[in-house]
Structure 1
Amino acid sequence: MNQTRSTWREPMVWMLVGLPLASVAIGFALLFAAVRPGREDMDTITQATRVGKLLVSAQDEPSTEVATKGLVLRLKGDMIEAVPVDGDFPRGGKLRLTLRASDSQAAERSVELSPSELGWRGVGSLDGGHDWMVELSPDNAAWSLRGHWTAQARAIRLSP
């Protein structure tokens, strides 16, 4: 009695068909896991977002004006002024200017800039013999602009 078995009852058919199908399914599952952000990635994304040189904190929802505008920092006598490049720059509140000497021989300085008729102004001066790393942010730290103030420069532009 020669009875033939069904093709699907042969183990070799399952190895030839089933293993490649299983590897394709596992490949799609791995691709989905790699593309989809995980929980720890979402926490990092919500902490801070960088737009060019502008670091935007997640504490306050930044306005689109801050992400596209810039400021000019300039020395005027014994004052440091921050003047918006565009008149639509969001105004109000004080700004904190932090200056760090790039050669680390001079101490870190912090200047509080109060609102003025043109922008913000604070009492302070710079030693012209040092390059300075500059960070400017509002009191609520919703955004931060960073730049490099070279020695002997009278003004710099901070933009995203």
Structure 2
Amino acid sequence: MIKESTASAFLFHVDGDGVCRTALVWHPRLEEWLPAGGHIEADEGAAEAAVREVREETGFDAELLPGPSLALPAGFPHTAPVAPWWVVEMDACADNHTREPHRHIDHVFVARVHERGADEGAVHEVRWFTEQEASEAEGLAEDSRLQLKALFAMISDGSLTVAA
């Protein structure tokens, strides 16, 4: 089975009214609302790919929020990139990268934007969802809905801060 590394990011913003929303993109081939994401290029890491994909697909500049991870030992001589929140393996149908069924190893990040203006330059339709809207939206991928439910719960209980 062919396996390809991908990166995606759940993008959040807290509006002036205090309401937290997440931006999802309409994936025209899959016909679903998904977090921005795509393949990791040969010259970038997963975190870099997530930021690039958010910019390409939504037009927004994302700030990645570090996922849960262990601190490096004192004196460790290397830099750690921003850790993903999840790494998941999922079946993928043929696409423009691989012409046969394969698997994506997706590095899932959480990010925020400071300004939620127009999505200029976006290559996909972008929609901002409240927690309630995400729980009820038609066409939202079920795995994304489950991840959003967990993330919104963490925002509600204060264990995840997405406000700038």
Same topology, TM > 0.5: no
Report the TM-score, using the length of structure 2 for normalisation. 0.26
Report the TM-score, using the length of structure 1 for normalisation. 0.26
Structure with more helix by fraction: 1
